[in-house]
Amino acid sequence: MNVLLAVAIGVVVAVGVYLFLSRDLARMLLGFMLFSTATNLLLLLVGRIGPITPALIEEPATTLAESAANSLPQALILTAIVIGFGMTAFTLILALVAYRRFQTLDADALNVAESIDPPVLSNDEKGTRS
């Protein structure tokens, strides 16, 4: 089970990284989502997975049973999912705004912030730029 999950995580990471290397912002976002999903799965895996009972304390006992599942990774994953959701939502909106503004999602075509400022003014620039 652990090996299977490890391989699955590896595959998801590979797909995520492949998509993230794309120039298209939408594909990059999908890549990021897969990458963060794989991370969440990794958190589940490091809590050890095996044939165990739910992390509930039965009435007479005061502590968890020896065989109970580790509930901490689940809490971590829950936090990570919420954070990942917020980040993804923000990035989607940003990509949408960028698309409306520039009519493209191609990262190579998005270069307004990359203008190079030459050391001296050319004659026709004297009145126009700031």
Partner 1 sequence: MDTRLIIVAPLLLPLLTAALCALLWQRPRLQRWISVASAFLLLATSVVLLRQTSSGKILASQMGHWPAPFGISIVIDTFSAIMLAITGVMAIAVTVYSLGPGRARRDHAGFHPMLHALLLGVCGSFMTGDIFNLYVWFEVMIIASFGLLVLDRTAQQIDGGIRYVMLNLIGTTFFLIAVGLLYGLTGTLNLADLARMTPHVEQRGLLATAGVLLLVSFGAKAAVFPVFNWLPASYHTASMPVAAIFAALLTKVGVYAILRVYTLLFAHDTSFFGPLFAFLAISTMVVGVLGAAAHYDIRKILSFHIISQIGYMLVGVALMTPLAIAGSILYIVHHIIVKANLFLVAGAIHTRSGSYWLARLGGLWRTAPLLGILFLIPALSLAGMPPLSGFWGKFAVIRASLEVNAYWLAGAALVVSLLTLFSMIKIWNEAFWKAQPVEPAPRPTTRVQQAATYAPIVVLAAITLTIGLHTEPFARISLAAAHQLLDRDGYIAAVLHSGNDQAGHSPDSSAVARLIEEDPTQ
Round to whole Å and give the CA distance between 81 and 91: 15
Please tell me whether residue 28 binds partner 1 under the rule CB under 8 A. yes
d(CA 69, CA 54): 6
Among 45, 64, 65, 68, binds partner 1 (CB under 8 A): 45
Q: Nearest distance from residue 28's CB to partner 1, in Å?
A: 6
- Nearest CB to partner 1, comparing residues 56 and 109: 109
Question: Beta partners for 68?
Answer: 53
- Residue 106, beta-bridge partner list: 24
Q: Give the containing element (helix H, strand E) for 65.
A: none
- Residue 25 CB-half CA count within 13 A: 19
> Which stretches of the chain bind partner 1, using CB under 8 A?
20, 25, 28, 32, 35-36, 39, 42-43, 45-48, 72-73, 76, 79-80, 83, 86-87, 90-91, 94-95, 97-98, 101-102, 107, 110-114, 117-121, 126-127, 129-130
